[in-house]
Amino acid sequence: MPSAGTLPWVQGIICNANNPCFRYPTPGEAPGVVGNFNESIVSRLFSDAQRLLLYSQKDTSMKDIHKVLGTLRQIENSTSSLKLQDFLVDNETFSGFLYHNLSLPRPTVDKMLGAGVSLRKVY
């Protein structure tokens, strides 16, 4: 039994079958395209790590890997909270989608974007 109840569960199945709940494709639905995260902090971190691991042919690459891992540990253990908004680019469409397509009130959208994100729980 779904925790939200039977009706929302059935609505979710129907909406996901052919997406009749929204008249137009929602942002990020194109296969292989995630437009909101192209220039985000996490995306740049992974891009830099990939570039470091794939294209670095200097003897300092092991030192650089230790620097990256050290930075990741600092981020993980830091007390400063990361917010969902920190992971989105400046002209993101997620808040507009929540506000216009899902008809959520602006204060609710602002609270969602200001919600804290724990990197330990993201893994």
Going through 17-114 in order, the beta strands assigned E by DSSP cover 82-83
Residue 107 clears pLDDT 80, i.e. is over it: yes
**pTM for this structure?**
0.38
Determine the pLDDT at residue 51: 80
What are the sequence ranges of the domains in the chain?
Answer: 1-30, 39-80, 81-123
**38-85 per-position pLDDT tens digit:** 667 777 788 888 887 777 665 566 677 788 788 777 776 765 677 888
101 burial via Cβ count (<10 Å: 0-12, 13-18, 19+) = middle
Determine the pLDDT at residue 92: 78
